[in-house]
């Protein structure tokens, strides 16, 4: 049928029937083959649905999950525990906030940048003492002894050193002491251990840098706790019968006499510590060891210890010493209330001392205000009050509140009320909120700042959600009436931070607006806001998380003035980033078309975008670009596509710096075109088609601004496809033409994820994609036949980015062959609705077909040439490439033609020459496919016969070690 | 030839009453067998008396050290002369504590001028050329509840006190005393040795800020003999009960344990006396110090096997802040010797917990 002799004779194909043949009926899979096998237990399903929030990490594993053996074991353990009298078992219930959680809060809150001085004895006092001891034994007269003793004392004085340390150094020092202590204990130096513990306690008596005191207390009591635990564990070990197991609790009758003796000895040692504070603290640390002596002795001792704290002159030190005793007390027996009650009353009493000149001078000398000084008490008092209120019945709580109420005007009134607000159950505070507001108002500002009280009240209210929202406006107005009068911005902000959160949770947007307005009013004078960026940021975050309606939040008239408070650029960018994050993550599916909201977001986004520059690091760039893209995706005007296009145009102008945002915009416009296509059901009116052209034009001028050539190529292809789909072939042609032009100077290497990568693989994919598009592209009547395809194949043969060794060019040419083959068919494999492709345009015109045949044979020769050249340089690659060619050949050519058949057989022989194992495997698979096809197709049957014939022959040939050039010779004879 | 002798007592606490039977084991470990001329065990208990140089003069003190009063001296032969063959030999023993006629066994007491100590010594006599092997350990004696000296039961003798600047001015004839007033009470001036001294003290008023408030336990030791007698008071321990400027009008508890072996029930004999006093010390911010002394009787009411021994006291370093008080202000500065400074205790082993 063709006039030109060619090896490549396209076969006629019926795509519809082929398609049917390939699309065999399938069954839907329900299970992932690699998925975890889930036994569908009805029970578990219901349990998860009934309580949606189950923390998988929580220790409360439901009893069901335990196997029967361990269940029996756990039952045995629990009965054991019951035996040990519920009083002593240190199981404090859940409502009690454990010290460990308080501790981290305290350590964060009470820090300092000042230098802390630390006075410690030199380490080697122990050795000195022993040496001097032996010396002393030689002394005969008393006077000599005295002299020696005085020398020792002097030496000891000299041995003390005072260092100035930063906070971190101080912490390290204490940790070091703790380590030394454990070390000494392990090496059986118990005196040294005790000495270190005592030295630690002495540090607590040191009042310099008071702001750090609560943290210091935490650190040092940790050391004491370790000490107590070591002593206790050791005594417990000594309770073990010979070769027996160490008991896990104390049975008083079974404690051996030696253990009692040791325990008693410890208490005797501690009793002779001369100084008060170490004596109290160390005894408290090992108080648990009283259990080895008697079951109840600790009770009276605890009371005694608490009372001994009265002897501590400094009220702050005394308060923390009481706090520690309460900690020990609640640990040993939380039912024993007496020591805690004594501690509380003593603590309240001790606040009278604060007004004495001694104490006043002390904190004035460290430049602390009264309110800061008083706030240092708060952790200790909170703890004591928490211990006190723990499991207390309502009547007693009532009594206590009344007592506090009666004593509001005394120095301790405010701080005790604060502790109550911090520790009382939030539901209780919520119920009686008006009473508490009244109490706060009755407090004397000179003793304790009201701002802290209001803040505590707010925090407590936050923990207990009201019965209904919006909650009582009365509360807010009565509180704010006072707070708004605070002159000092720091105390005002302390309240505002908490109350803004409360308002955002429980009140309407109107109150939020008023509140923010109030904040602005307070912070504007003297540019006070500069000090409070942190708190303002926190407020904004709270608003973003709590206010449901984002649009309402940004339609408040005070929000922009509020955002204007953030005037330092980095703070401003941070807050905008937070806003954008909140907006994006709010509801990822939800779109918006609210102009106010969009304007606000774009404003924020612009600010964030404008900070980017050459110095921005990659991570930040990625974060910001992700954010901006997400924002763009969030905007959806629905049917108002023109508005949306306008938005994209604007956005392009604003965010030109980041490529990925531009890509998002192009994608968005494409999507817009497609959705328009769907809206009109594929039938464009004049208006819609001009809109499509507008979209395409947008893309056409935007894509060149991108830097990455691969992105450009892919987007050009995508846009051309969109254009063709929307029946604007001239635009599509334009895109493809630019894409093809782009190919001619495509770089050898492109950067993917920051690494330079050879562009071969990506080009193969992209160009093949373009060819796939070209199948349906109608020829431009003004141009020559297959103008674009022609251009593409020219570019492929001339592209500089392919190495000599690269086989991509050959593969692409082969694909080009396949493409041209489709153009000869009477019907194309696929069509675009309403677009007349070449099959309709040319209607199998003879000239057209001839033209294609010529091109086919030219291409074929080109490929054969490449194959030949490769034979000299890389026979293995030649073989695999030949296999690819073979594959395409048998798929697309008419094998009934003898020429084709002969060429195919030659190709097969070439494959067999230098096949690598991989190639062989593929070839074998291909043979099987031919075998299957041979059942239905006569020509394939013939091919199979020939192939199997040559197979035997070639094996003989190869055994005679024939050279490659031979086979090339035979391959050429096909001509 | 080296070897070692050791005595192990069965009773862990090493504390015995009169007439108790001391049981234990003598352990002799030597690298090779040797001959010996007999092994003996000796129980030795005595009261050592020193005259202090302060009251009788240095020379008298040096020459006229009074003879120790022997309370018990018993010897027991553990083995007849012979050969010790095995590497480690254990010889169990038991011996009854029975004092000399008319000599009761006083409680162990470690003081400055009076010491009451009991030792258990084992001697391995060796042949002419080699050195004898000896080992001595101290053990403690305390009164049994039925002991005649323990008969004086602690009768609660609560003592209220009030100290003011005026009272001090009269008593000590000091003009320059800051204005203050302290009141308080001690639970009892007649204390049981195992129970802590307790009481309360209130700073009613004070012109100057207070630096420290302390309770001091003093011992009064009297040695008497033909040549004369000396009476000295020295500090046993000093415990701080108030640190810094203590709040006024608040009851501060007084609590002090009597240190073991450094105190004993008050003892009055013809040759010597051991008595105790409690002193309340008030130090003002400018280091001026006020002290008020009141006598205190310690009684021994032991629950059986309640009081335990410690061989060596805590070393003085724990009390290092003693130095916080200017020495010259302390009445007893010259003799405020820490127990550790005394060599007589034979503290060759520092047995912290009596572990073994």
Mean pLDDT of chain B: 72
Total Cβ atoms within 10 A of residue A243: 5
**DSSP string over B299-338:** E--PPTT-S---SSPPPGGGGGGGGGS-GGGSTTGGG---
Q: Specify if B356 maps to a domain.
A: no
Q: Are A452 and A459 in contact (CB under 8 A)?
A: no
Q: Specify if A949 maps to a domain.
A: yes
Task: Looking at the structure, tell me whether residues A813 and A714 fall in a common domain.
Answer: yes
**What's residue A671's pLDDT?**
92
pLDDT tier, B270 (very low <50, low <70, confident <90, very high otherwise)? confident
Q: Specify if A369 maps to a domain.
A: no
A126, pLDDT greater than 60: no
Q: What is the CATH number of the domain that holds B224?
A: 2.60.40.640
Task: Looking at the structure, tell me whether residues A719 and A848 fall in a common domain.
Answer: yes
Cα distance from A288 to chain B (closest Cα, Å)? 18
For A857-886, how does the pLDDT look when each residue is reduced to its tens digit (9 = 90+)?
Answer: 888 888 888 888 888 888 888 888 888 888
A633 token code pair: 């995706």
Task: Looking at the structure, tell me whether residues A852 and A950 fall in a common domain.
Answer: no
Chain B residues with CB under 8 Å of A259 CB are none
Which of B214, B256, B318, B339 to mutate against chain A (most A CBs within 10 Å)? B318
The residue with tokens 């007491």 is B109
- More reliable by pLDDT, B320 or A315: A315
pLDDT tier, A765 (very low <50, low <70, confident <90, very high otherwise)? very high
**Exposure b/e, A773-785, CB count within 10 A at least 16 = b:** bbbbbbbeeeeeb
Among the residue ranges A91-105, A197-211, A885-899, the one predicted with the least confidence is A91-105
Which of B62, B243, B314 comes nearest A277 by C-beta? B243
- More reliable by pLDDT, A352 or A329: A329
User: Between chains, do B253 and A307 touch, taking CB under 8 Å as contact?
Assistant: yes
Q: Specify if A787 maps to a domain.
A: yes
Among the residue ranges A495-499, A790-794, B93-97, B341-345, the one predicted with the least confidence is B341-345
Chain A residues with CB under 8 Å of B332 CB are none
> For residue A558, which of A532, A519, A597, A591 has the smallest C-alpha distance?
A519
Is any Cβ of chain A less than 8 angstroms from the Cβ of B318? yes
User: Between chains, do B243 and A275 touch, taking CB under 8 Å as contact?
Assistant: yes
Q: Are A788 and A746 in contact (CB under 8 A)?
A: no
User: Between chains, do B341 and A145 touch, taking CB under 8 Å as contact?
Assistant: yes
User: Between chains, do B343 and A138 touch, taking CB under 8 Å as contact?
Assistant: yes
B326, pLDDT greater than 80: no
**What's residue A732's pLDDT?**
92
Task: Looking at the structure, tell me whether residues B77 and B217 fall in a common domain.
Answer: no
pLDDT tier, A195 (very low <50, low <70, confident <90, very high otherwise)? confident
Task: Looking at the structure, tell me whether residues A759 and A878 fall in a common domain.
Answer: no
- Which helix (H) or strand (E) segment holds residue A932: the answer is helix A917-934
The span from the CA of A521 to the CA of A530, in Å, is 14
Task: Looking at the structure, tell me whether residues B98 and B202 fall in a common domain.
Answer: no
The span from the CA of A70 to the CA of A61, in Å, is 13
For B:28-57, CB contacts with A below 8 A are: 52-53
pLDDT tier, A166 (very low <50, low <70, confident <90, very high otherwise)? confident
Half-sphere exposure of residue A747: CA atoms within 13 angstroms, side-chain side = 12
The span from the CA of A694 to the CA of A646, in Å, is 10
pLDDT tier, A663 (very low <50, low <70, confident <90, very high otherwise)? very high
Q: Specify if B12 maps to a domain.
A: yes
User: Between chains, do A274 and B308 touch, taking CB under 8 Å as contact?
Assistant: no
Cα distance from A356 to chain B (closest Cα, Å)? 10
Tell me the angle at which helices A213-238 and A190-205 cross, rounded to the nearest 10 degrees.
160
Sign, Cα dihedral of A274, A280, A281, A287: positive
A150, pLDDT greater than 60: yes
Task: Looking at the structure, tell me whether residues B258 and B203 fall in a common domain.
Answer: yes
Q: Specify if B354 maps to a domain.
A: no
**What's residue A4's pLDDT?**
45
The span from the CA of A126 to the CA of A336, in Å, is 40
Is any Cβ of chain A less than 8 angstroms from the Cβ of B208? no
B97 token code pair: 């504590």
Q: Specify if B320 maps to a domain.
A: no
B321 Cβ contact partners less than 8 Å away, ≥ 6 residues apart: A274, A275, B240
Cα distance from A367 to chain B (closest Cα, Å)? 21
Is any Cβ of chain A less than 8 angstroms from the Cβ of B343? yes
A231: nearest CA in chain B? B353
**What's residue B172's pLDDT?**
56
Q: For residues A327-333, give the mean pLDDT.
A: 85
A787 Cβ contact partners less than 8 Å away, ≥ 6 residues apart: A779, A780
Q: Specify the number of domains making up chain A.
A: 2
For A554-590, how does the pLDDT look when each residue is reduced to its tens digit (9 = 90+)?
Answer: 888 888 888 888 888 888 888 888 888 888 887 767 7
**What's residue B104's pLDDT?**
81
Task: Looking at the structure, tell me whether residues B100 and B156 fall in a common domain.
Answer: no
Largest CA distance in chain A: 138
The span from the CA of A66 to the CA of B175, in Å, is 82
Chain B residues with CB under 8 Å of A149 CB are 337-338, 341
**What's residue A88's pLDDT?**
39
Percent of chain B with pLDDT over 70: 70
Please give, one letter per residue, the 3-state secondary structure of A855-892: HHHHHHHHHHHHHHHHHHHCHHHHHHHHHHHHHHHHHH
pTM of the model: 0.64
For B4-18, how does the pLDDT look when each residue is reduced to its tens digit (9 = 90+)?
Answer: 888 888 887 788 888
A695 Cβ contact partners less than 8 Å away, ≥ 6 residues apart: A645, A669, A670, A672, A673, A676, A722
**What's residue A772's pLDDT?**
92
**What's residue A130's pLDDT?**
39
Is any Cβ of chain B less than 8 angstroms from the Cβ of A193? no
The span from the CA of B314 to the CA of A129, in Å, is 12
**What's residue B349's pLDDT?**
33
Q: Specify if B286 maps to a domain.
A: yes
Q: For residues A693-706, give the mean pLDDT.
A: 92
**What's residue A666's pLDDT?**
93
Task: Looking at the structure, tell me whether residues B171 and B203 fall in a common domain.
Answer: yes
User: Between chains, do A157 and B323 touch, taking CB under 8 Å as contact?
Assistant: yes
Task: Looking at the structure, tell me whether residues B236 and B213 fall in a common domain.
Answer: yes
Largest CA distance in chain B: 79
For B143-192, how does the pLDDT look when each residue is reduced to its tens digit (9 = 90+)?
Answer: 776 666 554 555 667 778 888 877 776 555 555 777 888 888 887 777 77
Cα distance from B341 to chain A (closest Cα, Å)? 6
A362: nearest CA in chain B? B245
Tell me the angle at which helices A473-483 and A489-506 cross, rounded to the nearest 10 degrees.
170
The span from the CA of A529 to the CA of A15, in Å, is 73
User: Between chains, do B315 and A129 touch, taking CB under 8 Å as contact?
Assistant: yes
Number of residues in chain B: 356
User: Between chains, do B246 and A310 touch, taking CB under 8 Å as contact?
Assistant: yes
A75, pLDDT greater than 80: no
- More reliable by pLDDT, A149 or A356: A356
| Residue where a domain stops, chosen among B142, B161, B193 | B142
For A:203-222, CB contacts with B below 8 A are: 205
**What's residue A656's pLDDT?**
80
Distance set, CA B92 to CA A638, B28, B78, B95, B139 (Å): 105, 11, 9, 10, 17
Task: Looking at the structure, tell me whether residues B189 and B295 fall in a common domain.
Answer: yes
- More reliable by pLDDT, A109 or A736: A736
For A:329-388, CB contacts with B below 8 A are: 346, 349-350, 352-353, 356, 358
**What's residue A227's pLDDT?**
92
Chain B residues with CB under 8 Å of A307 CB are 251-253
Q: Specify if A754 maps to a domain.
A: yes
Q: What is the CA radius of gyration of chain A?
A: 43
Task: Looking at the structure, tell me whether residues A720 and A755 fall in a common domain.
Answer: yes
Task: Looking at the structure, tell me whether residues A930 and A792 fall in a common domain.
Answer: no
The residue with tokens 């000896």 is B134
For B:58-77, CB contacts with A below 8 A are: 58, 62
Which of B251, B338, B352 comes nearest A191 by C-beta? B352
Task: Looking at the structure, tell me whether residues A749 and A806 fall in a common domain.
Answer: yes
**What's residue A960's pLDDT?**
44
- Our separate counts of H helices and E strands in chain B read 3, 21
Q: Specify if B350 maps to a domain.
A: no
- More reliable by pLDDT, A74 or A674: A674
B324, pLDDT greater than 60: no
pLDDT tier, B352 (very low <50, low <70, confident <90, very high otherwise)? very low
Q: Are A224 and A241 in contact (CB under 8 A)?
A: no
B170 Cβ contact partners less than 8 Å away, ≥ 6 residues apart: none
For A604-625, how does the pLDDT look when each residue is reduced to its tens digit (9 = 90+)?
Answer: 888 888 888 878 888 888 888 8
**What's residue A127's pLDDT?**
40
Range of B93's domain? 4-142
For A502-512, how does the pLDDT look when each residue is reduced to its tens digit (9 = 90+)?
Answer: 888 888 888 88
For B:171-200, CB contacts with A below 8 A are: 196
For A:120-179, CB contacts with B below 8 A are: 121, 125-126, 129-130, 133, 136-139, 141-143, 145-146, 148-150, 153, 156-157
Q: Specify if B185 maps to a domain.
A: yes
Chain A residues with CB under 8 Å of B341 CB are 133, 136, 145, 148-149
**What's residue A767's pLDDT?**
92
Half-sphere exposure of residue A63: CA atoms within 13 angstroms, side-chain side = 5
**What's residue B309's pLDDT?**
23
**What's residue A155's pLDDT?**
52
For B83-138, how does the pLDDT look when each residue is reduced to its tens digit (9 = 90+)?
Answer: 887 778 888 888 888 877 777 888 888 888 888 999 999 988 887 677 788 889 98
Q: Are A46 and A856 in contact (CB under 8 A)?
A: no
Task: Looking at the structure, tell me whether residues B192 and B293 fall in a common domain.
Answer: yes
Mean pLDDT of chain A: 80
- Our separate counts of H helices and E strands in chain A read 46, 4
Chain A residues with CB under 8 Å of B246 CB are 310-313
Distance set, CA A200 to CA A170, A316, A683 (Å): 12, 17, 86
pLDDT tier, A958 (very low <50, low <70, confident <90, very high otherwise)? very low
pLDDT tier, B303 (very low <50, low <70, confident <90, very high otherwise)? very low
Q: Are A712 and A703 in contact (CB under 8 A)?
A: yes
Among the residue ranges A3-12, A817-826, B122-131, B346-355, the one predicted with the least confidence is B346-355
Percent of chain A with pLDDT over 90: 11
Range of A894's domain? 874-954
Task: Looking at the structure, tell me whether residues A852 and A891 fall in a common domain.
Answer: no
Cα distance from B62 to chain A (closest Cα, Å)? 9
The span from the CA of A15 to the CA of A828, in Å, is 8
The residue with tokens 């070897």 is B3
Tell me how many degrees the CA angle A842-A847-A849 measures, rounded to the nearest 5: 70
ipTM reported for the complex, 2 dp: 0.77
Task: Looking at the structure, tell me whether residues A882 and A747 fall in a common domain.
Answer: no
The span from the CA of A196 to the CA of B167, in Å, is 42
Cα distance from A405 to chain B (closest Cα, Å)? 24
A85, pLDDT greater than 50: no
Chain A residues with CB under 8 Å of B242 CB are 276, 311-313
Total Cβ atoms within 10 A of residue A517: 16
Task: Looking at the structure, tell me whether residues B122 and B36 fall in a common domain.
Answer: yes
The span from the CA of A650 to the CA of A628, in Å, is 13
Task: Looking at the structure, tell me whether residues A818 and A847 fall in a common domain.
Answer: yes
Most confident of A789-798, A866-875, B261-270, B323-332: A789-798
Q: Specify if B326 maps to a domain.
A: no
Q: Specify the number of domains making up chain B.
A: 2
Task: Looking at the structure, tell me whether residues A856 and A885 fall in a common domain.
Answer: no
> For residue A968, which of A895, A884, A870, A900 has the smallest C-alpha distance?
A870
Q: Are B261 and B237 in contact (CB under 8 A)?
A: no
Task: Looking at the structure, tell me whether residues A860 and A916 fall in a common domain.
Answer: no
A782 token code pair: 């003004």
Task: Looking at the structure, tell me whether residues B136 and B190 fall in a common domain.
Answer: no
B256 bridge partner residues: B197
User: Between chains, do A141 and B53 touch, taking CB under 8 Å as contact?
Assistant: yes
């Amino acid at each position: 049928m063709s006039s030109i002799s060619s090896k490549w004779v396209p076969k006629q194909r019926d795509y519809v029937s082929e398609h049917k043949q390939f699309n065999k009926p399938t069954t839907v899979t329900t299970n992932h083959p690699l998925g975890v096998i889930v036994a569908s237990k009805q029970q578990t399903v219901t349990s998860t649905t009934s309580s949606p929030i189950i923390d998988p990490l929580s220790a409360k594993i439901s009893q069901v999950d335990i196997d029967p053996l361990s269940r029996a074991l756990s039952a045995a353990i629990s009965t054991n525990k019951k035996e040990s009298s519920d009083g002593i078992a240190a199981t404090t219930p859940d409502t009690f906030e454990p010290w460990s959680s308080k501790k981290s809060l305290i350590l964060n809150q009470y820090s300092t940048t000042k230098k802390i001085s630390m006075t410690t004895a030199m380490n080697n006092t122990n050795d000195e003492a022993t040496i001097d001891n032996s010396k002393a034994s030689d002394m005969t007269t008393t006077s000599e002894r005295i002299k020696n003793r005085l020398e020792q004392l002097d030496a000891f004085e000299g041995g003390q050193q005072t260092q100035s340390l930063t906070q971190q150094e101080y912490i390290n020092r204490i940790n070091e002491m703790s380590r030394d202590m454990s070390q000494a204990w392990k090496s059986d130096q118990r005196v040294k251990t005790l000495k270190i513990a005592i030295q630690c306690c002495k540090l607590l008596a040191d009042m310099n840098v008071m702001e750090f005191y609560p943290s210091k207390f935490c650190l040092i009591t940790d050391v004491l706790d370790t000490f107590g635990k070591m002593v206790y564990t050791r005594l417990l070990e000594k309770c073990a019968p010979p070769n027996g197991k160490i008991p896990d609790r104390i049975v008083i009758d079974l404690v051996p006499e030696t253990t009692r003796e040791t325990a008693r000895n410890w208490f005797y040692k501690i009793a002779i510590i001369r100084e008060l504070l170490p004596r109290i603290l160390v005894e408290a640390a090992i108080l648990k060891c009283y259990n080895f002596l008697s079951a109840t002795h600790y009770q009276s001792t605890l009371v005694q210890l608490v009372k001994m704290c009265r002897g501590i002159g400094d009220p702050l030190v005394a308060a923390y010493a009481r706090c520690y005793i309460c900690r020990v007390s609640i640990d040993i027996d939380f039912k024993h209330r007496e020591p805690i009650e004594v501690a509380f009353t003593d603590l309240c009493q001790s606040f009278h001392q604060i007004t004495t000149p001694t104490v006043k001078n002390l904190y004035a000398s460290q430049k602390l205000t009264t309110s800061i000084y008083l706030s240092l008490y708060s952790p200790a008092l909170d703890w004591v009050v928490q211990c006190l209120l723990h499991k207390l019945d309502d009547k007693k709580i009532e009594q206590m509140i009344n007592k506090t109420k009666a004593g509001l005007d005394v120095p301790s009134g405010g701080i005790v009320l604060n502790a109550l607000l911090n520790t009382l159950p939030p539901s209780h505070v919520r119920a009686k909120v008006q009473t508490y507001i009244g109490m706060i108002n009755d407090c004397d500002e000179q003793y304790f700042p009201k701002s802290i009280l209001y803040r505590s009240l707010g925090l407590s209210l936050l923990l207990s959600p009201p019965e209904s929202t919006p909650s009582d406006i009365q509360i807010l107005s009565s509180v704010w009436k006072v707070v708004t009068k605070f002159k000092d911005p720091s105390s005002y902000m302390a309240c505002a931070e908490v109350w803004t959160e409360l308002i955002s949770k429980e009140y309407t947007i109107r109150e939020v607006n008023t509140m923010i307005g109030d904040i602005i009013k307070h912070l504007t004078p003297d540019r006070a806001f500069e000090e409070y960026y942190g708190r303002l940021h926190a407020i904004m975050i709270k608003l973003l998380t709590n206010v449901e309606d984002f649009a309402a939040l940004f339609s408040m008239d005070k929000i922009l003035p509020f955002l204007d408070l953030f005037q330092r650029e980095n703070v401003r960018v941070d807050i905008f980033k937070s806003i954008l994050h909140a907006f994006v993550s709010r509801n990822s599916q939800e779109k918006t078309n609210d102009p106010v909201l969009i304007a606000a977001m774009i404003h924020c986004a612009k600010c964030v975008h404008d900070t980017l520059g050459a110095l921005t690091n990659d991570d930040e760039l990625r974060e910001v670009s992700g954010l901006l893209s997400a924002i763009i995706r969030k905007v959806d005007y629905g049917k108002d596509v023109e508005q949306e296009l306008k938005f994209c145009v604007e956005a392009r102008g604003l965010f030109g710096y980041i490529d990925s945002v531009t890509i998002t915009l192009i994608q968005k416009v494409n999507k817009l075109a497609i959705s328009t296509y769907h809206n009109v059901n594929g039938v464009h009116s004049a208006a819609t088609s001009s809109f499509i052209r507008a979209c395409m034009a947008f893309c056409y001028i935007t894509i060149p601004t991108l830097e990455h050539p691969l992105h450009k190529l892919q987007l050009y292809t995508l846009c051309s496809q969109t254009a063709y789909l929307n029946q604007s072939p001239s635009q599509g042609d334009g895109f493809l033409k630019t894409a093809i032009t782009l190919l001619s100077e495509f770089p050898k290497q492109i950067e993917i994820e920051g690494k330079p990568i050879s562009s071969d693989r990506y080009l193969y994919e992209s160009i093949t994609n373009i060819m796939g598009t070209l199948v349906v592209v109608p020829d431009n009547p003004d141009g020559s036949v297959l103008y674009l395809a022609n251009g593409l194949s020219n570019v492929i043969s001339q592209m500089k980015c392919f190495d000599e060794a690269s086989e991509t060019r050959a593969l692409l040419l082969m694909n080009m062959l396949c493409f041209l083959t489709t153009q000869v068919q009477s019907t194309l494999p696929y069509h675009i609705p309403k677009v007349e492709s070449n099959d309709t345009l040319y209607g199998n015109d003879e000239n057209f077909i001839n033209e294609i045949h010529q091109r086919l044979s030219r291409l074929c020769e080109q490929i054969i040439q490449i194959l030949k050249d490769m034979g000299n340089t890389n026979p293995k690659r030649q073989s695999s490439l030949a296999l690819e060619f073979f594959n395409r050949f048998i798929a697309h050519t008419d094998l009934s033609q003898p020429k084709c058949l002969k060429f195919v057989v030659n190709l097969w022989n070439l494959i067999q020459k230098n096949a690598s194992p991989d190639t062989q495997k593929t070839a074998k698979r291909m043979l099987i496919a031919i075998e299957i096809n041979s059942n239905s197709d006569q020509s394939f049957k013939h091919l199979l016969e020939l192939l199997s014939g040559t197979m035997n022959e070639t094996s003989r040939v190869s055994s005679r070690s024939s050279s490659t050039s031979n086979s090339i010779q035979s391959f050429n004879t096909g001509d | 030839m080296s070897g070692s002798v050791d005595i192990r007592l069965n009773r862990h606490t090493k504390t015995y009453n009169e007439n108790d039977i001391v049981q234990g084991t003598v352990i002799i470990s030597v690298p090779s067998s040797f001959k010996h001329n007999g092994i003996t065990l000796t129980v030795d208990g005595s009261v050592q008396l020193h005259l202090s140089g302060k009251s009788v003069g240095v020379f008298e003190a040096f020459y006229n050290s009074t003879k120790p009063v022997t309370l018990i001296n018993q010897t027991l032969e553990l083995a007849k002369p012979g050969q010790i063959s095995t590497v480690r030999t254990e010889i169990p023993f038991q011996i009854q504590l029975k004092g000399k006629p008319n000599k009761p066994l006083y409680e162990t007491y470690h003081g400055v001028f009076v010491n009451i100590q009991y030792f258990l010594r084992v001697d391995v006599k060796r042949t002419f050329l080699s050195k004898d092997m000896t080992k001595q350990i101290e053990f403690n004696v305390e009164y049994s509840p039925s002991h005649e000296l323990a008969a004086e039961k602690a009768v609660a003798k609560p003592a209220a006190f009030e100290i003011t600047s005026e009272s001090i001015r009269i008593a000590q004839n000091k003009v320059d005393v800051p204005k203050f007033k302290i009141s308080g009470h001690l639970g009892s001036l007649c204390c049981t040795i195992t129970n802590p001294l307790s009481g309360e003290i209130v700073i009613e008023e004070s012109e100057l800020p207070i630096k420290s408030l302390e309770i001091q336990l003093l011992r009064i030791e009297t040695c008497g003999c033909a040549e004369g007698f000396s009476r000295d008071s020295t500090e046993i321990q000093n415990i701080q009960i108030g640190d810094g400027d203590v709040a006024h009008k608040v009851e501060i508890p007084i609590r002090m344990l009597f240190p073991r072996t450094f105190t004993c029930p008050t003892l009055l004999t013809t040759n010597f006396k051991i008595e105790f006093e409690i002193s309340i010390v008030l130090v003002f911010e400018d280091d001026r110090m006020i002290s008020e002394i009141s006598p205190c009787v310690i009684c021994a009411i032991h629950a059986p096997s309640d009081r335990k021994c410690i061989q060596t006291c805590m070393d003085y370093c724990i009390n290092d802040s003693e130095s916080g008080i200017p020495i010259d202000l302390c009445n007893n500065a010259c003799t405020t010797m820490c127990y550790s400074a005394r060599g007589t205790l034979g503290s060759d082993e520092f047995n912290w917990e009596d572990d073994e």
